[in-house]
Amino acid sequence: MRNIVIWFYITIFIIISGCTPILKTVEQQYQKTDFIPNMIDQEVMPKFTVTITPQDNIETDKETFIAAQRGGVSENEIIKSWENRLTNTPDKNARRIQGVFNEIDDLIKWNFLPSDVGYELKLQMINQGNYGDGSEVETLKDGQEVYPDTYNPYKINQRYLSVFKVVYNNETDNIINVSVDSFQIISGNEQLNPIKTDYYEKNLAGSSEKLKNVFRMNMTDNVTIVPHQSVTKYFAVPTVNLNEKKLIAKLIFNNTVFDFDFTVTRTQISKVFKFREFTIKGKDILTSTTLNNIVIKQGNRIYSLRSDKVYILTDLNSEPLSIYYTNFDFLESRYGKILDIKSSKKVKKIIKAPLWYFRIIKKSPNANYNSP
């Protein structure tokens, strides 16, 4: 079954317990929407099959993220714009940040930092980070692998469009053309038509990576399927009313209407998650040091901390997280990382984060700087 999830969450209580980490409990309440069946295929002419799947937002995030990575993601447009404004600026703080940006580029090249972590560190340094504290339960979605929506062109103005995946399988010896205007989505009394490419070009003008995915994935005005070829395309419509119990995708082909009938069910679900709070402190040889920037990577999720505190699930089966951090002034920069941390009673409330000077890493970029 294909599902779409609407999320609500409530922090219930926080227990403070002496030397052990603070325990934070969050209740998650949400509605899960399933399409039954999850996909329908029809032979619309002999040896030509069309399969339609209502897409889950989580799945679309994943597919667009993987497609962008496969195509080679360029650095975030926000960072590029900020760097372009630096030309001939007298601002010493900005020039120092640019110097740290250059060091981060080197650290990525030396595999000290993953590229996506490096980009997030840069964004945090110019106050554009993807902020969180680890207890955002909306990222914990029924055990599914969660990917960021960074490259999903079907999320505009913080709202998801309703997306449909279409697979054409042409086993004939003929060229077949299908127009995007041949599709309609019927929800209640609404008839919704696919959104054309020019809409995305206008609304995603500042997001080149999302636009690349539009040109890669979105159904064009006319799709040509050559003999013995299978083609996958996507189209989106304005968000459908999920309170309707029926959803019909219609395809008009060769003057015949083909109906793809889906039943919509909704289920109310409540879950409780428990987290431990940890404080991250930079550690020199003799003293404790405040960290300028801290980025957390857990699976495919990456976020910046606003403070030195992070919440980690008490469930030891949850995915471990890694911490990346910086400390710099006008003279020198230091960097560090702690990999694969899980919440455990053996882990102390304060996580000590070792730091290495950039000049040291530069001399021995292949050394082992991983802190378990």
Distance CA 85, CA 309 (A): 33
Query: Are 258 and 181 found together in one domain?
Result: yes
Among candidate residues 139, 121, 101, 123, the one with its CA nearest the CA of residue 296? 121
Query: Are 173 and 41 found together in one domain?
Result: yes
According to DSSP, residue 182 is labeled: G
Model confidence, pTM: 0.75
Q: What pLDDT score does 98 carry?
A: 85
**Most confident segment among 82-86, 132-136, 328-332, 355-359:** 355-359
Within 10 A of 144 (CB to CB), how many other CB atoms are there? 13
Tokens of 324: 């990346």
Indicate the average pLDDT of the chain.
84
Query: Are 256 and 316 found together in one domain?
Result: no
Query: Are 112 and 192 found together in one domain?
Result: no
Among candidate residues 156, 155, 182, 157, the one with its CA nearest the CA of residue 168? 182
| Residue 245 maps to a domain | yes
Contact 223, 164 (CB under 8 A): no
Query: Are 60 and 169 found together in one domain?
Result: yes
Query: Are 264 and 173 found together in one domain?
Result: yes
Share of the chain above pLDDT 70, in %: 83
Amino acid at 178: V
List Cβ<8 Å contacts ≥24 apart for 131-134.
131/303, 131/304, 131/305, 131/306, 132/296, 132/303, 132/304, 132/305, 133/305, 133/306, 133/307, 133/309, 133/310, 133/311, 134/275, 134/296, 134/298, 134/303, 134/310, 134/311, 134/312, 134/321
Query: Are 254 and 226 found together in one domain?
Result: yes
Query: Are 119 and 171 found together in one domain?
Result: no
Is the pLDDT at 18 greater than 80? The verdict is no
- Domain span at residue 8 reads 2-20+30-67+160-196+216-268
Query: Are 63 and 166 found together in one domain?
Result: yes
Tokens of 342: 């899980």
Contact 32, 269 (CB under 8 A): yes
Q: Where are the beta strands (DSSP E) in 171-237?
A: 176-179, 183-187, 190-192, 222-225, 229-237
Half-sphere exposure of 28 (CA within 13 A, CB side): 20
Mean local confidence (pLDDT), 259-274 = 90
| Residue 43 maps to a domain | yes
Amino acid at 2: R
User: Of 247, 268, 289, which marks where a domain is finished?
Assistant: 268
Q: Which residues contact 90 (CB under 8 A, 6 or more apart)?
A: none
| Residue 288 maps to a domain | yes
For 171-229, the pLDDT digits (tens) are 999 999 999 999 999 999 999 999 999 999 999 987 888 999 999 999 999 999 999 99
Contact 298, 315 (CB under 8 A): no
Within 10 A of 183 (CB to CB), how many other CB atoms are there? 23
Query: Are 232 and 244 found together in one domain?
Result: yes
Is the pLDDT at 286 greater than 50? The verdict is no
| Residue 82 maps to a domain | yes
Q: What pLDDT score does 267 carry?
A: 86
Domain harbouring 167, CATH code: 2.60.40
Query: Are 264 and 170 found together in one domain?
Result: yes
Q: What pLDDT score does 17 carry?
A: 38
* Overall number of domains in the chain: 2
For 38-63, the pLDDT digits (tens) are 999 999 999 999 999 999 888 898 89
Within 10 A of 145 (CB to CB), how many other CB atoms are there? 12
For 313-347, the pLDDT digits (tens) are 887 777 888 999 999 887 889 999 999 887 665 56
Greater model confidence, 74 or 200: 200
